[in-house]
Chains A and B, each alone.
Chain A
Amino acid sequence: MLDKIKPTFSEGGRLSMLRSVFDGFETFLFVPNTTSKSGTHIHDSVDSKRVMFWVVLALVPAMLMGMYNTGYQHYLVTGQSVGFFQTFFWGLLAVLPCIIVSYVVGLTIEFAVAQAKGEEIHEGFLVSGLLIPLIMPVNTPLWMVAVATAFSVVFVKEIFGGTGFNVLNVALGARIFLFFSYPSKMSGDSVWIAVRDYFGFGKAQATVDTFTGATPLGQAAASVGADSMTLTNAVGDPLSWWDMFLGLIPGSIGETSTLAIVLGGLFLICTGVASWKIVVSVFGGGAIMALILNAFAVNPYMAMPFWEHWCLGGFAFGAFFMATDPVTAARTEAGKWIYGLLIGMLAILYRVINPAYPEGMMLAILLMNIFAKLIDYCVVQRNIKKRMKRAQVAIKK
């Protein structure tokens, strides 16, 4: 059937302006039967569609847990006690529009660009489109998600040449755009917990008196100068490490549950899609910096142990899903260790030493995205120097 309507979309056909879209759907449905013209006659079964889709699969646990937590936080502060499914369903209602907006806006731009360039549609946005909503606070207005997505796809990715050429992580590009353009909507105490009602579900008014919507990291940053620090949940109960690990704390939609992130992340590492070297070194770097700060602790935040740092904020999410983006990360094997280590160290340093930015992961990753090329350059120079030296010895002979 597809073959029959294909001519309509081919060059010169009636609907040729939708050629890329048609091609996108065709290759989505059927494996293209184009065969190799030159070079290697057989090819590995893997392709970029599969790799990208595997990342999306790996994000599913974090997404589901994020939905549940959104509902959980809502019912916590509105003082209602409801069942598991209603909690999840409320979260779904709150989060789904965000995901839809991100995909619709981003894919529209991608389709248009692919058509204008006469290329196939690149799959990169399949991942970015899900990452963007997962790193937003749940109260981010939908129009902001749309603007940020558009900004990021156009100015972080497409003007550099599209998927594979971007210097910065696309999803973080969207987040940092909002972070500096609309700081009041991206941080503070009121953006992390949704208090709305959807078709009669949920309540538009918080009923708990002690409602503090600050994230644990926000609380920690605010505690600098105090003698002691107790991190609490939204209704004032102290948090245990298990709460942080399971993710029943305020935060961006997908980043709270370390358990879900680790599940998805291990899937990525086992399938070889994400580099285990980067993940290990990010966590290692975080631990090293936390231990250094512990040793010189002058306030309770500096004394925070590294296993709590790992579970709070976007650290785990960034380590598994952002730092490992192969396009923006260091590409040499030695470079990956250095790159990850510096991300981990910088993220903790930003968090603890600079209270203006309670979360350092985004800034650490973006900064190292820029430095990744420099790290690679140094690693490559080592190989080049070795070859030069060998050549000089040969000339002397």
Chain B
Amino acid sequence: MTKQINIKKGLNINLQGAAAKERATASYTPLYAVSPIDFHGLLPKVVVKEGDPVKAGTPLVIDKKFPEINFVSPVSGVVKSIVRGEKRKLLHVVVAADTKTEYVTFPKRNPLEMTGAEVKEALATAGLWPFIKRRPYDLVANPDAKPKSIFVQGFDSAPLAPDYAFVLKGHAAEIQTGLDALTRLTEGQVYVCLPAENAAPELEKAQHVEFVRLKGPHPAGNVGVAINHVDPVNKGETVWTVNALDLVFFGRLFNQGIVDLTRLVALAGPAVYQPAYYSCKPGIALSALVEGNVHKEIPLRYINGNPLSGERVEKDGFLGFYNSQVTVLHEGSDVHELLGWVMPRLNMFSNSRTYFSFLIDKLMPKRQYDADTRVLGGERALIMSGEYDKVFPMDILPERLVRACIVKDLEDMEALGIYEVAPEDFALCEYVCTSKIEVQKVVREALDLLKAENGED
């Protein structure tokens, strides 16, 4: 059975530099890292020492709260360094990779013949558990929880996002195995969210799951929107979310008995010469993707993920654990724009009709915009009303919820639906905000506070 959801609210930001549907080869790098900073709220404990030999699938880090959850090495080689930041915060465990990858072997099994507990154990041991996230709180799933349903993100509507139909091509068997594994983890339904058009056929043909078709602008692809429409999270309930691209890893584990995290990553953005898809593994040194493919002289912003909700990363940093997209933008710190606030700015995009982009886009729907990382205004109190509402397609009053989060009113947050949202759902609100409020940060902090107050793990 397929549920149809039409979304009117939202915003597509048409940026330059979408990845061309061709495979490019990353230049060779021996450096890979597992970065605990990719996992919000993780209390990491390193279980290897510098110089230890590791295989692809050997645990490098565990979660102190849930020691059964491993964070494993994506490659085989030698632990090169353990990088710590301020207050000895663990940033990266860096592995120098061998030229040929050796894999830790796991038993090949059919997840449909396993119990939920066995699937959990298999995923946690192989380091794949962190791919399952949870609502509320948008964190790595608590393995002890009983989710009422699991949502699979089957497309990405964010600016410059990878095309799932292209990335998942030829992975039908792995995806089906991955979905079968998910069905063992919940007593409820597994929902696969698909776009109205150009869905990945590998997902469309999947069995044992229900489908949700979402039509409309970004954030239609965010699982949060589907959850809100199909099976909203009430206080005390849990829903898990998984990205369809990561199901391939689940499938490889059960079908082939190895942890092979090879994936296609879209390198995109206005600052990239030749945007394309790179076959690589999470944790790869970013320079292997971008070297020689971006401007050298001007300051650039490297982002693990999309420009709206991705994480900033330095050029000598590493590809994030969850990311199938790397975006490179012009930083814009070298731009001095005279009287920009009153100029027509015909080449700049805005959701506000004080600019002409709404007219120009009607005439030229394929027009693409450059965008740099300037905030383009000072932070103010919330002045304009109804702005967030226009880009927030859930049955939630976004402005009220954000206000409750700002003043840390837990009771109001709960009443207004904080359990149903993740910071990424507010990325567009933050983008359009005239007062330049850091909405995602506000929501993240509110979720952390709520979790601490509720005393949950």
Contact = CB atoms under 8 A, between A and B. Distances in A.
B341 A33 contact: no
Interface stretch (A254-262, A343-351, A385-393): A385-393
Given A164-B435, A333-B389, A388-B415, A38 B348 contact: no
B397 interface: yes
Contact of B341 (A47, A162, A383): A47
Contacts of B380: 48, 122, 163-164
A336 B384 CA distance: 13
A33 B374 contact: yes
B352 interface: yes
Contacts of B329: 41-42
B182 interface: no
Given A33-B336, A41-B303, A47 B310 contact: no
Q: Chain A contact residues (Cβ within 8 angstroms of B): what range? A: 35 or more
Q: Which of the listed residues A34, A120, A163, A271 has the most CB atoms from chain B within 10 Å of its own CB?
A: A34
Nearest to A162: B381
B71 interface: no
B349 A33 contact: no
B234 A40 contact: no
A161 interface: yes
Contacts of A39: 427, 430, 438-441
A45 interface: yes
B251 to A, nearest CB: 32
Contacts of A272: 352-354
Q: Which of the listed residues A40, A42, A50, A383 has the most CB atoms from chain B within 10 Å of its own CB?
A: A42
A345 B245 CA distance: 57
A49 B383 CA distance: 12
Q: Which of the listed residues B372, B378, B441 has the most CB atoms from chain A within 10 Å of its own CB?
A: B378
B457 interface: no
A50 B339 CA distance: 10
Contacts of B427: 39-40
B416 interface: yes
B162 to A, nearest CB: 17
Contacts of A36: 373-375
Given A33-B334, A45-B376, A47-B377, A38 B438 contact: yes
Interface in A293-349: 326-327, 329-333, 336
A354 interface: no
A41 B235 CA distance: 32
A384 B384 contact: no
A199 interface: no
B97 to A, nearest CB: 30
Contacts of B373: 35-36, 41-42
B interface, over-half SS: loop
B40 interface: no
B376 A48 contact: no
B386 A331 contact: yes
B381 A391 contact: no
A53 interface: yes
A161 B353 CA distance: 29
B399 to A, nearest CB: 6
Interface string B409-445: 0000001110000000001001111111011110000
A350 B438 CA distance: 43
Interface string A105-134: 000000000000000101010000000000
A359 B416 CA distance: 40
A43 interface: yes
B393 interface: no
A226 interface: no
B333 A48 contact: no
Contact of A43 (B377, B385, B440, B441): B377
A32 interface: yes
Interface in A1-52: 27-51
A332 B371 CA distance: 31
Contacts of B399: 331
A326 B237 contact: no
Contacts of A273: 354
Contacts of A51: 352, 354, 383-384, 434
Nearest to A388: B415
Interface residues of B, number: 75
Nearest to A379: B397
Contact of B383 (A275, A326, A394): A326
A390 B353 CA distance: 37
Q: Which of the listed residues A29, A35, A39 has the most CB atoms from chain B within 10 Å of its own CB?
A: A39
Contact of A31 (B236, B376, B431): B376
A357 interface: no
Given A42-B371, A44-B350, A30 B338 contact: yes
A interface, over-half SS: loop
B308 to A, nearest CB: 5
A41 B376 contact: no
A89 interface: no
Interface in B1-47: 13, 15
A165 interface: yes
B57 interface: no
Interface in B332-387: 332-342, 345, 348-355, 371-386
Contact of B345 (A40, A45, A394): A45
A380 interface: yes
Nearest to A57: B342
Contacts of A120: 378-379
Contacts of B206: none
Contacts of A394: 234, 237
A285 B342 CA distance: 35
Given A33-B335, A44-B351, A48-B434, A275 B385 contact: yes
A52 to B, nearest CB: 9
A380 B397 contact: yes
A33 B332 contact: yes
Contacts of A29: 338-339
Contacts of A263: none
Contact of A40 (B232, B235, B309, B415): B309
B440 A35 contact: no
Contacts of A387: 234, 415-417
Nearest to B305: A41
A50 B341 contact: yes
A44 B307 contact: no
Interface in B225-242: 232, 234-237
A275 B432 CA distance: 17
B396 A383 contact: yes
Nearest to A3: B336
Contacts of B314: none
B331 interface: yes
B375 A53 contact: no
Contact of B381 (A28, A49, A165, A380): A165
A356 interface: no
6 contacts: A31-B374, A43-B375, A46-B377, A50-B354, A51-B434, A383-B395
Given A44-B349, A50-B354, A163-B380, 18 more contacts: A30-B336, A32-B374, A32-B377, A34-B375, A35-B333, A35-B373, A41-B312, A42-B372, A43-B375, A45-B345, A50-B341, A50-B352, A51-B384, A120-B379, A164-B382, A326-B385, A332-B400, A394-B237
Interface of A: 27-51, 53-54, 120, 122, 124, 161-165, 270-273, 275, 326-327, 329-333, 336, 380, 383-384, 386-388, 390-391, 394-395
Q: List the 3 shortest-distance A-B pairs measured between CB atoms, nearest first.
A: A47-B377, A164-B381, A31-B340
